[in-house]
Structures are given as C-alpha cells and as structure tokens.
Amino acid sequence: MSTSTTYPNGQVLVSSALTQQQINVLVQKLTCGMLGINPVDPMQVRIDWQAEGQPDVPRPSVDVCYINCVTSATEYAQIARDRMFTGIGPITENWIYTRDWLISWDLYGPNSTDRVRQIHSAIFMDYFDEQFSLSNLYSVNSLPTPTRIPVEHNLQWYEHSHFHCDFYEAVSETIQDSIATSVEVKLNTDAGLAADFTVEK
C-alpha cells in the first residue's frame, strides 16, 4: 500500500516503500505459513521483544519464534536512484531505487532446530517467493545456513536456533508538482515600484 506525503511547497510524494509495521505484519503472516500455523498466532510468532531483558520465553518446553526486520546499508542499496521526468503541465518526477531488508528469525523451544529448517526451506519455495514478490520483496540467492545456539536464561538452558537473510525491496516513488494558477509580477526601477500586477492562467 502506497503512502502519500504533502510538502509545504505543494509537492506530493507517493511512495511504495514498506513501512516498518507493514513488513512486520507481512513476515509474521508468512512465517506462520512456513511453520504450518493457521491462522496467524501472534503468541507463537512474535514481532517484538519486551522492553527490557532477553526474549520472553515462558518455559524451555515452549516453542516460540521472534522475527526482526531492519533496513541494511549494503552496497547495492546505496546505488544512486534512477530518475525520470514526465508531463508538460504538472511535472511528475519518478524515482526507482532498492532497499535492503535484513530479516532475522530467532526460534526457541525443543523443536527450534527443525522449525528453523522449515523456514530456511520455505524461502526457496515458489509459493512463498511469490508472496514476498507481491510486496516487491526478493530474497538474495545466497542464503546462510541456520545455526543452533543454545542460550542460558534464568539459570536454565534453552534450545535456540537462528536464521537470517537479505531481501531487496524495489521501491518506486513519484513527486507531483502542483500547477501555478497565477503569478505576481513586480517591476522595480531606480525610482521605485513601477508596476505590480498578477497574471492569471
């Protein structure tokens, strides 16, 4: 869904760039699908950690997944924007550029190793590839291997597995210039203001 911003000079920017909330909801929904959780269960696949401390995992026997989506300043994402101007009345400036999202999955619980494997495999499936592409997100071909990293929490050991990968987001933006309907003309001479009039369109 595009977002629109109107600037004080009357220009309007319309952008296809995903907001943080939009990509969080998208990845949460698709992650539930990858794990066979239907409908979406925000207790099993969580977007945010609590304000302080480590992830809130009630017991070592409980399976839970945390997702994290952040933009990444990769070299490809820093390539200059393509620009094109169209129109002869109101001028529209079109920008096309790429953003890099680093998406991470942290899974806790006795089945975390198998569940992270499910997510890793699902990234290669045509269905999930198409679902990401509907939001202009495209995974980088070279994916890292998921890793098992048990962690100690409240004097207990928790099974923990981690996986992350980069997604490129194709962003298009347009800037619409407003049309001037009139202009004020002032003619100044050494003697002062000689004329002041308005030209209407």
Q: What is the mean pLDDT of residues 29-42?
A: 96
What is the predicted pLDDT for the residue at 78?
67
What is the predicted pLDDT for the residue at 2?
80
Encoding tokens for residue 50? Answer: 């609590």
Cα–Cα distance measured from residue 87 to residue 54, given in angstroms and rounded to the nearest whole number: 54
Does pLDDT of 32 surpass 90? yes
Q: What is the mean pLDDT of residues 4-9?
A: 87
What is the predicted pLDDT for the residue at 90?
75
What is the predicted pLDDT for the residue at 141?
77
Does pLDDT of 12 surpass 60? yes
Q: Is the pTM of this model over 0.85?
A: no
Quick one: pLDDT band at residue 45, thresholds 50, 70, 90?
A: very high
Cα–Cα distance measured from residue 146 to residue 126, given in angstroms and rounded to the nearest whole number: 20
Alpha-helix residue ranges (DSSP H) falling in 7-143: 20-34, 112-122, 126-133
What is the predicted pLDDT for the residue at 74?
72
Percent of the chain with pLDDT over 70: 86
Quick one: pLDDT band at residue 188, thresholds 50, 70, 90?
A: confident
Cα–Cα distance measured from residue 77 to residue 170, given in angstroms and rounded to the nearest whole number: 10
pLDDT tens digits for 129-159? 999 999 999 998 788 999 999 988 778 888 9
Give 49 or 124, the one with higher predicted confidence: 124
Long-range contacts of 52-57 (CB under 8 A, 24+ apart): 54/151, 54/153, 55/106, 55/108, 57/108, 57/109, 57/153, 57/158
pLDDT tens digits for 63-96? 999 999 999 877 766 666 777 878 776 778 888 8
Quick one: pLDDT band at residue 28, thresholds 50, 70, 90?
A: very high
